[in-house]
Each structure stands twice: as C-alpha cells, then as structure tokens.
Structure 1
Amino acid sequence: MKKLSLAMLLSMLAIPVSAADIDAGKAKSGMCAACHGGAGISAVPMYPNLAGQKAMYLTKQLKDFKSGKRQDPTMKGMSMALSDSDIANVSAYYASLK
C-alpha cells in the first residue's frame, strides 16, 4: 500500500513537467541565453548554469522572482515577461538539457 501511495504521489508531481512544452521552452529561452548561455551553461561564473536543473526548482525560482519573493532586478524584469505557461516550458527545456 505504501508503494502504491508513493507511486501515485510521484506521478502527480510529474504531471506539471510532462504538461510543459520543451520546444516552446527552447523557443522562449533566447532571453535567458545572454547570461545563462545558449545551452544553459553560463560562461560567466556569477550566473548559474540552468542545464539539468530540476524543472520544479526552476519554476519555483522564476515564480519567486516574478512575485518579488526573491529579489534581483534583472531577473524580476525577465520573469515579468513570462506567463505561467512560459515558465513551465522554459523550466522543462532547461531540465531536459544535460
């Protein structure tokens, strides 16, 4: 029973990621590339690498920048230009990169 419950919980957590459109995220990621690199690997150490990060983590960070919960003037501006769907798609795209 515990295994079934755990499997159901994990599958529910995966739903938002699988609903995201990786191709749309790639198309929208151009605005991220200047700082985070075209493939999500930054050439500048002060900017974090996005490639391979978990989609849920990236989604949370972008939503926190957008809401003001996390403060950074550059990321605030970038995140304000993204819809919730865009955030999910961009997050899925970077999570898909290795």
Structure 2
Amino acid sequence: MTQRPGVKGRRAAPALLLLLAAALAGVLPAAAWAQPADKDARGRQLAGACAVCHGPRGIGAAPDAPHLAGQPEGYLQRQLRAFRGGERRHEIMSVIAKPLSDADIDALAAFYAAQAIELRDR
C-alpha cells in the first residue's frame, strides 16, 4: 500500500470528521441559493464543498478520500445517490449527500467525470 506524499498514516479523529461533515453540510444548502443555470458551472460550484477531502479537481486530498476525477459519470451518480439514500454509509459522505438534489448529483458527476487525468512514467 503506498501513501500519498505528505501523509504519514494520520487519521483524523472521529469527532473532527463529524465536525467537518456538519460544517460542509451547511455549505451545500447555502450554495443552492445562487444556483447557476449552467450545469457545468453548478457542478464546479458544488465541488467547492467536496474539495476539502477530494481536492479542487477531484484528486483526493485527504488520506482516505478517493480520487473522483475521471471516474465514469454514471458510477459517480450511483454512489452519491446511494450515500444520500442510506444504501451506502460513510460518516461524512452520508451527511454531505443528504441535501443534494438529483440535479445537483448529475452536475457533480458531470464535473468530476470531465476532469482529465494524465499518467506519466516516473
């Protein structure tokens, strides 16, 4: 198992994770007040709340956060809907996904699926 640069096996305390989830959950409904009409702009706007763990363009920033960039759109939609509906559980994602509408989920999935990933030899 390889670690990401700058991460030395740290794990955030559960209380800190719950605090972060509560703070981010407050960001999503606030972001809904000024919804851009454009789906791409809406996805980028919503992704701002996801950047804390998943990075600004979907490359995981937190030790246990998966990369979202370049994932298939349908896969991302299914996972977000599963978190929202409780079929898939995670202490942060279950809270974050709950207020998302179907249109929000579609916009987020489209945003992350559109992020190009480039692989290079070391």
**Which secondary structure does the structure 1 equivalent of 2:109 belong to?**
helix
* Residue pairs, 1:1-98, within 5 angstroms: 21-98=39-116
Q: Helix, strand or coil: the match of 1:73? A: coil
Q: Percent identity?
A: 41
Structure 1 CA distance for aligned equivalents of residues 108 and 102 of structure 2:
10
Moved over 3 A (4+): none
RMSD between aligned alpha carbons? 1.3
In the TM superposition, residue 81 of structure 1 has moved relative to its aligned partner by: 2.1
The CA distance in 1 between the partners of 2:80 and 2:74, in whole Å, is 10
Q: Structure 2: where are the runs of 5+ without partners? A: 1-37, 117-122
Q: What's the TM-score, normalizing by structure 2? A: 0.61
Residues in 2 aligned to 1:22 and 1:77: alpha-carbon distance in whole angstroms: 23
CA distance in 2, matches of 1:49, 1:35: 9
Query: What SS does the aligned partner of 2:92 have?
Result: helix
- What SS does the corresponding residue of 1:63 show, helix, strand or coil? helix
- For structure 1, list consecutive stretches of 5 or more residues without a partner in the other structure: 1-19
- How many residues matched? 79
Higher relative contact order (CA 8 A, sep 6+): 1
